Amino acid sequence: MRTLVGLGLLLFGCKEEPTIVITFMPQDLAVRPDLARPLNGAMAGDPCSQDEDCLLVDATCCGCNAGGRKVAIARTRAAAYRKALHCTEAVFCAAMVSADPSCSATAACQKGICSVRPHR
C-alpha cells in the first residue's frame, strides 16, 4: 500500500510550473532616428525650396498598414533616415490600418521646411 501511495505522489504529486514573464514595451523604443530631430513631420526642420524636395516616409518600422504614421523629410535624407530606424531587427507591428492623417497626406515645402500636408 505504501508503495502505491508513494508511486501516486511521484506521478501526480506536487509539481512546480515554470514562471512565464511577458513584457510589453512601446514600439517607439525600437526606433533610433536622429534624436536631435523630432519625428513630428511639421517639426522635422528639413530645409526645402519646393514640394519635390520633400518626401513622406514611415516614422517607425511599422508603416501605415501596421498602425504607423508618416513624416516629411528632405528627399536627400530619406535613405539615411530609413537606415537609422534599424528595421532589420525583429519588430512586431499592430495588425491594423492606421487612422493617422499623415497616412493619406502629401509632403509639402511650407515656409522653406518639409512638412506633412493633409488632404482636405
Q: How confident is the model at residue 8 (pLDDT cuts 50, 70, 90)?
A: low
Higher pLDDT, 8 or 57: 57
- What is the tens place of the pLDDT at every residue in 64-100? 998 899 999 999 998 888 888 877 667 788 888 999 9
The residue range of the domain holding 65 is 27-117
* pLDDT higher than 80, residue 5: no
Phi-psi region of 30 (alpha: psi -120 to 50; beta: other; left: phi over 0): alpha
The answer to the question of residue 20 being in a domain is: no
The answer to the question of residue 46 being in a domain is: yes
Region 51-64: what's the mean pLDDT? 91
CA distance 111 to 51: 11
The answer to the question of residue 40 being in a domain is: yes
Share the mean pLDDT of the chain: 76
The answer to the question of residue 48 being in a domain is: yes
